Amino acid sequence: MTYSPARRNICLVALGALATKPALSQADFPTRPLRLIIPFPGGFTDTLARAVAQPLSSALGQPVAVEQKPGGSGQIAAGELLRAPADGHTMMLIHVGTHALNQALFSKLSYDANADFSPLSELVRLPNLLIASPSLGVRSVSELVELARSKPDTLLFASPGNGSSGHLAGELFRNRASIRIAHVPYKGASESVLDLSAGRVHFSFDTLAQGSALSRAGKVTALAVTSPERHPAFPDIPTMSESGFPGWETGPWFGLAVRSGTPEAIVTRLAEEIRRALALPDVQSRLTAMGATPIGSTPQAFRQQIASEQTRWGDLIRSIGIRVE
């Protein structure tokens, strides 16, 4: 069969149109159920993911399945995301560890936090609570600092593990207070709080929800929250800034991201729906009750937040020589 020049031109135009047609537009999205991958099992991360997934599913008209992919400090979950198509149907719950700490903690990392991900929105910030063993006899941050300075190399601070946000908050406290203290890492927060309440270690930067519950039970003494302002759920607890450390803000943050290369229109759509979900009164009250502060940022603002955190914590990690392999 032969083609005339005119017919051949028509075919070429048609092929060119197919080649330049975007794979998926905002109007087409979503075309199937979505996946929300979380890097840590159970607890707060699961509750947070489901609190956002439910209204997101209603807004998008498709189910949003929450899938736990723990392991490798977030590397297993990242691998799952990066194997999925860059079409917005797979999201990952990212946080300060996966996107600000791991870059400095690991000499080899299976993903690039900046090049491989397209941030959607910061979901929440979860302030720490500085808590002390009742046996220590301190009632404020200033008393803790004074005691540490009077007894150098004596006080022990606990954390859920090397490189955790609680560990780094303790190291920052050591630097800013100019005190000599020792770090005791645990394999999770449940073990550390048992030793803290028994007086075997002396203080820690715990999650606000867990620390406040222990304080109310009389098992620890709450000294300060690490958020810029007093938390609405715990208005009687002063901030670190009020306690002699101006500008202090530490604690894990969480957000959502998709693969880099996802069409911008889909990134915009997802980000908008995520912010709407976070603004719902029932979602806000649910997250606030757990000690979290809902954020709901734009993709651009979230990317800037990640970059700022990478610089801040990377500098501290490198200065004290922490490594996790």
**Structural domains of the chain ordered from first start:** 34-125+252-320 (3.40.190.150), 128-225 (3.40.190.10)
CA distances from 59 to 273, 279, 287, 292 (A): 7, 13, 20, 23
Q: For residue 186, what pLDDT band results from cuts at 50, 70 and 90?
A: very high
What is the model's pLDDT at position 17?
44
Question: Of 56, 40, 33, 43, which Cα lies nearest the Cα of 123?
Answer: 56
Please give the DSSP secondary-structure letter assigned to residue 39.
S
Percent of the chain with pLDDT over 90: 75
Strand partners, 159: 185
For residues 94 and 117, give the distance between their C-alpha atoms in angstroms, rounded to a whole number. Answer: 10
- Residues near 280 by Cβ (< 8 Å), separated by ≥ 6? 55
What angle (nearest 5°) sits at the alpha carbon of residue 185, between those of residues 182 and 191?
125
For residues 74 and 80, give the distance between their C-alpha atoms in angstroms, rounded to a whole number. Answer: 10
What is the model's pLDDT at position 307?
97
pLDDT of 12 strictly over 70: no
Residues 1-25 have a mean pLDDT of 47
Residues 3-29 have a mean pLDDT of 51
pLDDT of 218 strictly over 60: yes
Residue 221 CB burial class (10 angstroms; 0-12, 13-18, ≥19): buried
CB count within 10 Å of CB 61 equals 7
* Entry pTM: 0.85
Summarised one tens digit per residue, pLDDT across range 61-112 is 999 999 999 999 999 999 999 999 999 999 999 999 999 999 999 989 999 9
- Residues near 239 by Cβ (< 8 Å), separated by ≥ 6? 224, 225, 226, 227, 228, 229, 230, 248
Please give the DSSP secondary-structure letter assigned to residue 238.
P
What is the model's pLDDT at position 21?
44
